[in-house]
């Protein structure tokens, strides 16, 4: 692919006419500026053409979240917004939803819109660490002279559910020599059949002098891309991930290995985490995630979502099953050791059984998801142990003839057949495997009751034990860390935070993921504290009381070849 992902360089007017999409297509043209690596800033010009956009005066015609998953978008910082239809300029005003965990801005037409609506604006690219703190790595950022970001932070969409075909194109003339462009949908210019406009928000976009693995990228199968130079060579990790992706495709009985892209980039806040997107995953590294071996679990977890994403209301299914399988499938594939598998299940168990809020009902998880890391991790940890409990029960009830795998593959096959993958479908499969007992376990999980696998539920090599650990405890009200300005309140005077010198009213910032801090018994937390006009670091171990927690230990005398179940 040349520096111009589409042939635009000879066109004086860089509007949608330059790449001439089909008249009925919703078309998107992305034109990044040269990126300033010293300041970590740049811009991305976006041009949209919305066909048949007819609407009366006062109608909402465009939308973009202001905050999504605790992440700010460019809704309030974009510049140069203009709109034109067949009759000329269309004045726009804005209306914002009431502020909430997630809320949107809507653009309202000042007169009736006739025919196609062309919209142009400039999105800022800024590497400044997000003021809100921990959240998915969606925002536009620059690395290695290029740019990347997820559509839900910078692509305005037409209001309404109308299905439209899409043309996506790039003008990357301002980027360095040797640059190319890609998205979750494919390389360079792509054309998508009719579908919801929201799919543009569930995709990642990247342009610049990318590194690729494999070097010759195909439209199907696995590929990886990154900008700049991480402190490790990503290629061996991506070769490993590509091999595992092919193995998983066979496990989930996928008739053809689907396209899957991994995009690697730096994350100043939640390093080591990422975001699952359409046929792709955004994986991040940073100061606390520089070991590629420690990124394997994240890669495995997110690839599982390719097959197991469902329409179930809660995250307990999608995230729980991904945690359940994130080490189990690589272990079965011979790509990690039994010790690695044991470490993974114990990390999940340790975080869950020491969680002071592990009895929170599932119905409360969504509304409280971003206010407390102990709530946020429950769909992952409790969900994974729920599936381990079910697996053990199914194996015992069937005399080993059936396992949880059979139910999960059946759900995947429903998805492939276009059938609903909802809770009713899941409960029907549970009925067939366990009868009323399956529904009871499910109801208990949703109610927040403890999920405790039997001693041998992780295979013949491991047995259940207990060990003592300290609970995660920030020492103050967790909601203090929500929002742009984080002010400490509800400080426990007997906490480690108070002993370290933190005070109510302190304004703080931090640059680590609380989810990972919660899971690491020895991890220190450093807050940058502003008090009385002075800013200084404050470091402490965010731990409270010591409690017993279930763990699994290796049985002596059982060889590795007899471990995998």
Q: In the sheet where 146-150 sits, what is the strand order?
A: 141-143, 146-150, 204-208, 180-183, 186-187
Q: Which two tokens stand for residue 276?
A: 């699952």
Which helix H or strand E contains 123, and what residues bound it?
strand 117-126
pLDDT for the residue 430 = 96
pLDDT for the residue 313 = 66
CB within 8 Å of 424: residues ≥ 6 apart: none
H helix intervals, 309-337: 315-326, 328-332
CATH superfamily of 474-541: PDZ domain (2.30.42.10)
> Mean pLDDT, to the nearest integer, of 20-47?
93
Q: Which two tokens stand for residue 129?
A: 């660490």
Helix axes 378-397, 423-434, angle to 10 degrees: 30
pLDDT for the residue 260 = 85
Inform me whether the pLDDT recorded for 512 exceeds 80. Answer: no
Confidence of residue 134 (pLDDT cuts 50, 70, 90): low
Inform me whether the pLDDT recorded for 279 exceeds 80. Answer: yes
C-alpha to C-alpha distances, 24 to 61, 87, 300, 504, nearest whole angstrom: 17, 19, 39, 57
pLDDT for the residue 133 = 66
Confidence of residue 70 (pLDDT cuts 50, 70, 90): confident
- Which of 307, 276, 320 minimizes the C-alpha distance to 446? 320
How far apart are alpha carbons 28 and 123 in whole angstroms? 14
Inform me whether the pLDDT recorded for 92 exceeds 70. Answer: yes
pLDDT for the residue 290 = 72
> Mean pLDDT, to the nearest integer, of 80-85?
97
pLDDT for the residue 437 = 97
Domain-by-domain residue ranges, the chain?
1-207, 210-307, 309-460, 474-541
* Candidate from 57-61, 258-262, 294-298, 474-478 with smallest mean pLDDT: 258-262
Which helix H or strand E contains 49, and what residues bound it?
strand 41-50
Confidence of residue 10 (pLDDT cuts 50, 70, 90): very low
Task: Name the CATH topology of 210-307.
Answer: Neutral Protease; domain 2 (1.10.390)
Confidence of residue 307 (pLDDT cuts 50, 70, 90): confident
- Which of 41, 109, 107 minimizes the C-alpha distance to 76? 107
- Which of 216, 209, 214, 236 minimizes the C-alpha distance to 224? 214
* CATH among 3.10.105.10, 1.10.3720.10, 2.60.40.3650, 3.50.50.60 for 1-207: 2.60.40.3650
Inform me whether the pLDDT recorded for 289 exceeds 70. Answer: no
- Which of 421, 358, 435, 352 minimizes the C-alpha distance to 393? 435
pLDDT for the residue 543 = 97
Altogether, the residues listed in the chain come to a count of 565
Convert the pLDDT of each residue in 428-464 to its tens digit.
999 999 999 999 999 999 999 999 999 999 999 999 9
Considering the entire predicted model, what is its pTM? Answer: 0.80
Inform me whether the pLDDT recorded for 15 exceeds 60. Answer: no
b/e for 134-171, b at 16 or more Cβ within 10 A? bbbbbbbbbbbbbbbbbbbbbbbbbbeeeebbbbbbbb
> Mean pLDDT, to the nearest integer, of 255-282?
80
Which residue did the predictor score with more confidence, 326 or 510?
A: 326
> Mean pLDDT, to the nearest integer, of 305-313?
77
Confidence of residue 2 (pLDDT cuts 50, 70, 90): very low
Inform me whether the pLDDT recorded for 14 exceeds 50. Answer: no
Inform me whether the pLDDT recorded for 385 exceeds 80. Answer: yes
Convert the pLDDT of each residue in 164-191 to its tens digit.
999 999 999 999 999 999 999 999 999 9
* Candidate from 59-68, 149-158, 256-265 with smallest mean pLDDT: 256-265
Inform me whether the pLDDT recorded for 63 exceeds 80. Answer: yes
> Mean pLDDT, to the nearest integer, of 128-147?
85
- Which of 389, 559, 517, 504 minimizes the C-alpha distance to 458? 389
Paired sense of beta strands 222-226 and 190-195, if any? unpaired
Confidence of residue 4 (pLDDT cuts 50, 70, 90): very low
- Top mean pLDDT of 153-157, 239-243, 313-317 is at 153-157
Inform me whether the pLDDT recorded for 40 exceeds 80. Answer: yes
Q: Give the position of tokens 């276009």.
A: 418
pLDDT for the residue 311 = 64
How far apart are alpha carbons 251 and 259 in whole angstroms? 16
pLDDT for the residue 433 = 97
Paired sense of beta strands 117-126 and 26-32, if any? unpaired
Ramachandran quadrant class, 285 (left: phi over 0; alpha: psi -120 to 50; beta: rest): beta
End-to-end CA separation in angstroms for the chain: 46
Fold equal for 1-207 and 474-541: no
Inform me whether the pLDDT recorded for 95 exceeds 60. Answer: yes
Cis ω for the linkage preceding 214 (within 30 of 0): yes
Mean pLDDT of the chain: 90
CATH class of the structural domain 309-460: mainly alpha
Inform me whether the pLDDT recorded for 6 exceeds 60. Answer: no
């Amino acid at each position: 692919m040349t520096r111009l992902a589409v042939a635009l360089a000879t066109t004086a007017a860089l509007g949608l006419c330059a790449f001439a999409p089909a008249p009925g297509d919703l078309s998107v043209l992305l034109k990044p500026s040269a990126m300033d690596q010293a300041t970590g800033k740049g811009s991305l010009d976006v041009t949209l053409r919305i066909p048949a956009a007819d609407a009366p005066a006062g109608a909402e015609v465009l939308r973009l979240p202001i905050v999504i998953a605790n992440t700010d978008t460019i809704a309030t910082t974009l510049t140069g917004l203009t709109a034109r239809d067949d009759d000329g300029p269309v004045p726009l005003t804005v209306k914002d939803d009431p502020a909430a965990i997630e809320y949107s801005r809507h653009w309202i037409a000042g007169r009736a819109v006739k025919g196609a609506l062309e919209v142009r604006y400039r999105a800022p690219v800024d590497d400044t660490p997000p003021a809100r703190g921990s959240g998915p790595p969606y925002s536009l950022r620059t690395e290695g002279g290029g740019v990347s970001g997820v559509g839900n932070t910078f692509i305005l969409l037409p209001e309404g559910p109308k299905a439209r075909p899409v043309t996506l194109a790039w003008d990357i003339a301002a980027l360095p020599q040797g640059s190319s462009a890609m998205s979750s949908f494919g390389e360079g210019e792509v054309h998508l059949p009719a579908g919801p406009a929201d799919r543009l928000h569930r995709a990642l976009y990247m342009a610049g002098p990318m590194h690729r693995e494999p070097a010759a990228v195909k439209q199907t199968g696995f590929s990886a891309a990154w900008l700049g130079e991480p402190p490790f060579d990503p290629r061996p990790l991506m070769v490993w991930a590509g091999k595992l992706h092919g193995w998983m495709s066979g496990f989930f009985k996928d008739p053809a290995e689907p396209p899957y892209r991994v995009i690697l980039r730096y994350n100043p806040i939640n390093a080591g985490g990422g975001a699952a997107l359409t046929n792709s995953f955004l994986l991040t590294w940073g100061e606390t995630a520089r070991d590629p071996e420690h990124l394997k679990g994240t890669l495995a977890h997110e690839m599982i979502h390719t097959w197991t994403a469902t329409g179930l209301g809660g995250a307990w299914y999608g995230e729980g099953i991904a945690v359940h399988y994130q080490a189990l499938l690589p272990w079965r594939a011979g790509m990690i050791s039994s010790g690695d598998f044991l470490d993974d299940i114990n990390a999940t168990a340790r975080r869950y059984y020491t969680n002071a809020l592990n009895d929170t009902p599932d119905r409360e998880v969504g509304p409280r998801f971003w206010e407390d890391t102990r709530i946020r991790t429950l769909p992952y940890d409790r969900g994974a142990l729920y599936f381990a409990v079910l697996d053990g029960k199914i194996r015992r009830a069937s005399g080993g003839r059936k396992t949880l795998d059979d139910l999960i593959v059946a759900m995947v096959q429903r998805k492939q057949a276009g059938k609903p993958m909802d809770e009713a479908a899941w409960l029907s499969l549970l009925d067939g495997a366990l009868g009323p007992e399956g529904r009871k376990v499910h109801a208990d999980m949703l109610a927040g009751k403890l999920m405790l696998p039997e001693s041998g539920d992780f295979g013949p090599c491991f047995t259940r034990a207990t060990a003592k650990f300290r609970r995660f405890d920030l020492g103050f009200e967790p909601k203090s860390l929500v929002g742009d300005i984080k002010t400490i309140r509800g400080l426990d005077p007997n906490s480690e935070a108070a002993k370290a010198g933190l005070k109510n009213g302190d304004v703080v910032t931090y640059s680590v993921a609380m989810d990972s801090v919660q899971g690491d018994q020895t991890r220190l937390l450093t807050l940058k504290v502003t008090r009385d006009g002075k800013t200084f670091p404050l470091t402490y171990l965010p731990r409270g009381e010591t409690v017993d927690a279930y763990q699994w230990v290796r049985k002596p005398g059982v060889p590795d070849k007899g471990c995998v179940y």
